[in-house]
Amino acid sequence: MHRECKINVHENNDLATIEVLGDLTASSEKAIGAAYQKACGYNAKNILLKFDGKSRINSAGIAIVINMVIESQEKGCKVFIAGVSKHFRKIFELVGLTKYTTIVDSEEEVRKL
């Protein structure tokens, strides 16, 4: 069953967090794009893409994440990903995303890096 994607953005001490609640699919592209632009507006050095742990991500959602990481690198910003299942960690490894981003267990882990 598809869960509608809801997105929240907040910033705290050089870390902009984009919380993804629900499934990341092509229909989420506008909302995630707006959230990403808002996060960039904070001029944070790091962005955390934080999923709710139950999120599903289809191929269009993976493409959205890849594009976000590429654009962030061009802006000199590092992207971290949290809240993804072991299955999606493996998929992100297979598509090479882990070469350009770091998958963490929590927001606290990013703050310690």
pLDDT over 80 at 3, yes or no: no
| pTM of the complete model beyond 0.85 | yes
Q: What is the pLDDT of residue 4?
A: 86
In a domain, 65, yes or no: yes
Instruction: Look at residues 43, 45, 40 and name the one whose alpha carbon lies nearest to residue 18.
Output: 40
In a domain, 79, yes or no: yes
In a domain, 1, yes or no: no
Range of the domain at 58: 6-112
Average pLDDT over all residues of the chain: 93
pLDDT in tens, 39-64: 998 988 999 999 998 889 999 999 99
In a domain, 100, yes or no: yes
Structural domain count, the chain: 1
- Angle at which helix 86-94 crosses helix 59-74, to 10 degrees, equals 60
- Confidence class for position 90, pLDDT limits 50, 70, 90: very high
Question: Per the structure block, which two tokens stand in for 38?
Answer: 């808002």
In a domain, 66, yes or no: yes
CATH of the domain at 34: 3.30.750.24
